[in-house]
């Protein structure tokens, strides 16, 4: 595939200069970035490159595209911004007072537990506050607590100082509450997800010698999807460069900024980067991905954003209205079947299969009727997950998960408490390195019918060598044990045996995740494994051959020949919570991203009425975005 002149100019821009690329959907941003990396490798001798992506999937894709280049492994560090920051913490976290074995609290509810504990320690009777029977009032109180957590995230994502916080929230003692939460996190031996960047930024800012180590090895930085940077991410990149790294390329599309809830703003790419690095600026407008019909639709949403290439195919965009969500689902299933029967078409490369299609919705709730319809028609499908790992659902799976966390960080009372609850035993008085042994001892007097298995599991996890754990052996032993329970299950109530059967599946999944971890070569230790899980580096698509159902956010950066965009009603898309001009503008970006995932054909559908979660039937208005596309 040839590069266009515009693409080539960017790739061949002077090596030690800053480059900004503002490019529309499908214009080859990822391609340009990959080729730029290749070009730098070619033109320089031993210099290293850091290529920063937004998701692990994008990092994998870039690695795959560069796999044929011999020196890539030694010279290019392709990773998400969080993975790079985390690696810095693993090595140098001690310089800012972090524990040597980093424990990341990756679940919202665990962070909330730590916050509640910090309030307790401040003498606030938080348990009484939450111990009420009125469920509505309880919800509102939980919401109140959540609003504090949101502020903490904002402080971290925007790197706010105490003075800025006092100005923003003059009537609350937020900074003190925040500091107490931070101390509580450290007292439990961990940090939260947002902290990864905050601490890594702090390390580079306050320890120039550490920053110099990275700057001497990596002389070039490439940033993909830069329209979605937030302040902490941008400042992290800036401090990584310092005055030494001048070779930085940022590539992004302002019309695809869809992470505003994460503090993202296109201003970091469009304004701050220009002010701080005075880059050479380029634009790419030609859409190489989509057909004329799709490009026309995209241009209705963002006028003038897309240019057709001469040889673009005509393609098609079809908009259909249905009475109900069931009718909408049935129609999509019918179209899918017709397309599969069609098998080939001049506009689609190769054979038409479920692999060429995706169903996109603004949120995952719009898929429920379609999922039933697909099941009824035996059409395999899978919901594209975010990068976070699925939580285990069985008692065995949960015990394994919590026990590993406690093994790695015995101060982790959050998971320790949950472990005790599942095992139905008393909490240890002190959270020290012997907690798992104490739990094993306690299990000897447990009346739980599986106490023996759970005690063995705790014992086995406690005995793991953290540096080089023998996970396959653990899996094999417990697979045998659980299988024998299933085979001799006559004495056990049936619902419990279902849980054991599911445990075997979860254990298999755990094993596959471990294998994925080893194969990726990100480390050998149990800590590296847990942190890779927390950073979403080990997730995978569940079903490769089925029909993919995806939210807009998880479809970012990807493309399919045939796209169904469903549930296009006001309130769903744009989301009912988007009220301000800025929020509605981001909804438009979401619609633009959804439409531009289509390479050839786009089917847009909406129902005239929907059943709300509380059971009422509600009439729907066609989305404003559909009206614009039709106009
Ligand atoms: N010069 C070119 N000639 C032909 N096809 C190209 C060219 N450049 C890119 N493409 C193709 O266009 C499609 C879009 O490219 P790519 O995924 O790099 O775009 P992008 O700008 O990152 O898209 P988005 O931001 O919408 O995710 C891909 O299928 C790619 O192979």
Tokens of 536: 């979403």
**Cis link prior to 627 (omega < 30° from 0)?**
no
State whether the beta carbon of 557 lies less than 6 angstroms from ligand 1: yes
Per-chain mean pLDDT for the chain: 91
Of 570, 582, 630, 631, give the one whose Cα is nearest residue 604: 630
Question: Which pLDDT score, from 0 to 100, does residue 613 have?
Answer: 65
The residue whose CA is least distant from atom 18 of ligand 1 is: 28
On whether the CB atoms of residues 403 and 458 are closer than 8 A, the answer is yes
pLDDT band for position 489 (50/70/90)?
confident
Given a cut of 80, is residue 388 above it in pLDDT?
Answer: no
Q: What is the pLDDT at residue 574?
A: 94
Give which of 220, 227, 280, 272 is closest to 19, Cα–Cα: 280
* Phi, psi of 24, deg, nearest 5: -80, 175
Ligand 1 center to 460 CA (angstroms): 49
pLDDT of residue 237: 98
The more confidently predicted of residues 337 and 74 is 337
Pocket test for ligand 1, best of 28, 33, 283, 309 (most atoms within 8 A of CB): 28
How many angstroms separate the CA atoms of 188 and 185, rounded? 5
DSSP per-residue letters across 267-311: HIIIIIHHHHH--EEEEE-EESSS-HHHHHHHHHHSTT--EE-TT
Substitution candidate for ligand 1 out of 36, 286, 289, 295 with most atoms within 8 A of CB: 289
- Name the residue with the closest Cα to ligand 1, atom 2: 3
What's the whole-number mean pLDDT along residues 519-523?
Answer: 84
Query: What pLDDT score was predicted for residue 540?
Result: 67
Q: 254 CB under 6 A from ligand 1?
A: no
Does 493 have pLDDT greater than 70?
no
Residue range 474-483, pLDDT digits in tens: 999 999 999 9
Question: Which residues, at least 6 apart from 70, have a Cβ–Cβ distance to it below 8 Å?
Answer: none
**What are the strands, taking DSSP E only, across 54-168?**
76-80, 103-105
Kindly tell me if the per-residue pLDDT of 389 is higher than 70: no
Q: What share of the chain is helix, strand, coil (3-state, %, to 5)?
A: 55, 15, 30
8 lines ligand 1 (CB under 6 A): no
pTM of the entire structure? 0.88
What pLDDT is recorded for position 494? 64
CA distance 517 to 527: 12
Would the CB of 25 count as within 6 Å of ligand 1? Answer: yes
Distance 28 CA to ligand 1 centre (A): 3
**Is pLDDT above 60 for 393?**
yes
Mean pLDDT throughout 203-208?
97
Radius of gyration in angstroms for the set of CA atoms belonging to the chain, rounded to a whole number: 26
DSSP structure class, residue 571: B
CA of 597, closest atom in ligand 1 = 26
Quote the ligand 1 centre to 33 CA distance (angstroms). Answer: 11
**Stronger pLDDT, 562 or 58, i.e. the higher one:** 562
Q: Residue 630 above 90 pLDDT? A: yes
SS3 per-residue string spanning 9-64: HHHCCCCCCCEEEEECCCCCHHHHHHHHHHHHHHHCCCCEEEEEECCHHHHHHHHH
Q: What's the CA gap between 369 and 378, in Å, rounded?
A: 14
Read off the tokens for 616: 């009422």
Residues paired with residue 217 on neighbouring β-strands, in sequence order: none
pLDDT of residue 268: 97
Query: What is the per-residue pLDDT across 114-147, written as a single tens digit (0 to 9) for each?
Result: 999 999 988 888 888 888 888 899 999 999 999 9
Mean pLDDT over residues 104-119, rounded? 89
Strands lying side by side in the sheet with 357-361: 316-322, 598-607, 560-565, 357-361, 547-551, 381-383
CA-31 nearest atom, ligand 1: 18
* Residue 373, pLDDT above cutoff 60: yes
Closest CA to 461 of 415, 430, 427: 415
Burial of 304 (0-12, 13-18, 19+ CB in 10 A): exposed
């Amino acid at each position: 595939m040839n590069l266009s002149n515009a693409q080539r100019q960017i790739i061949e821009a002077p090596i030690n200069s800053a480059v900004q690329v503002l490019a529309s959907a499908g214009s080859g941003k990822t391609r340009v970035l990959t080729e730029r990396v290749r070009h730098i490798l070619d033109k320089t001798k031993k210099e290293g490159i850091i290529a920063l992506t937004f998701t692990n999937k994008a990092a994998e894709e870039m690695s795959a595209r560069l796999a044929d280049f011999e020196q890539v492994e030694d010279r290019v560090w392709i990773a998400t911004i969080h993975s790079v920051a985390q690696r810095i913490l693993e090595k140098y976290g001690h310089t800012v007072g972090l524990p040597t074995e980093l424990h990341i609290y990756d679940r919202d509810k665990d962070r909330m537990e730590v916050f509640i504990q910090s309030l307790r320690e401040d003498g606030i009777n938080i348990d009484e506050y939450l111990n009420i029977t009125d469920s509505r009032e309880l919800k509102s109180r939980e919401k109140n607590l959540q609003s504090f957590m949101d502020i903490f995230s904002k402080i971290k994502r925007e790197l706010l100082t105490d003075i800025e916080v006092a100005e923003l929230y003059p009537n609350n003692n937020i900074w003190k509450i925040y500091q107490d939460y931070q101390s509580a996190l450290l007292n439990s031996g961990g940090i939260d997800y947002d902290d990864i960047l905050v601490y890594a930024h702090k390390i580079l800012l306050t320890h120039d010698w550490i920053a110099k180590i990275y700057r001497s090895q990596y002389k070039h930085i490439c940033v993909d999807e830069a329209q979605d940077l937030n302040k902490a991410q941008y400042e992290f990149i800036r401090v990584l460069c310092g005055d030494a790294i001048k070779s930085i390329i940022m590539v992004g599309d302002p019309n695809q900024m869809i992470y505003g809830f994460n503090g993202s703003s296109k201003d970091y790419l469009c304004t701050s980067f220009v002010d701080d690095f005075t880059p050479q600026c380029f634009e790419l407008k030609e859409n190489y991905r989509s057909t004329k019909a799709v490009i026309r639709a995209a241009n209705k949403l963002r006028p003038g954003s897309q240019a057709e290439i001469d040889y673009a195919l005509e393609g098609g965009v079809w908009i259909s209205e249905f009475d109900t969500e069931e009718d909408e689902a049935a129609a999509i299933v019918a179209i899918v079947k017709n397309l599969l029967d069609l098998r080939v078409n001049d506009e689609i490369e190769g054979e038409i299969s479920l692999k060429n299609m995706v169903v996109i919705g603004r949120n995952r709730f719009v898929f429920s009727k379609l999922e039933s319809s697909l099941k009824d028609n035996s059409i395999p499908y899978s919901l594209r997950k975010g990068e976070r790992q699925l939580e285990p659902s069985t008692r065995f799976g949960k015990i394994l998960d919590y026990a590993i966390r406690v093994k790695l960080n015995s101060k982790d009372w959050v998971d320790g408490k949950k472990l005790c609850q599942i095992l139905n035993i008393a909490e240890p008085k002190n959270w020290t390195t012997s907690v798992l042994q104490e739990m094993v001892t306690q299990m000897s007097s447990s009346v739980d019918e599986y106490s023996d298995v759970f005690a063995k599991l705790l014992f086995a996890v406690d005995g793991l060598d953290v540096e080089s754990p023998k996970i396959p052996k653990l899996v094999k032993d417990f697979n045998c044990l659980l299988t024998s329970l299933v085979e001799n299950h006559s004495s056990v109530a049936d619902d419990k045996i279902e849980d054991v059967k599911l445990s075997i599946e979860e254990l298999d999944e755990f094993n596959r995740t471990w294998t994925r971890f080893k194969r990726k070569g990100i480390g050998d230790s149990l800590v590296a494994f847990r942190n890779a899980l927390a950073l979403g580096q080990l997730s995978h698509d569940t079903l490769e051959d089925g029909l993919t159902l995806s939210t807009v956010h998880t479809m970012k950066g990807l493309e399919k020949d045939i796209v169904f965009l469903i549930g296009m009603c006001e309130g769903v898309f744009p989301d009912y919570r988007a009220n301000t001009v800025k929020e509605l503008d981001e909804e438009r970006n979401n619609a633009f991203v959804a439409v531009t995932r289509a390479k050839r054909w786009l089917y847009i559908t909406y129902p005239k009425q929907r059943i709300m979660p509380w059971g009422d039937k509600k009439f729907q208005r066609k989305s404003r975005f559909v009206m614009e596309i039709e106009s």
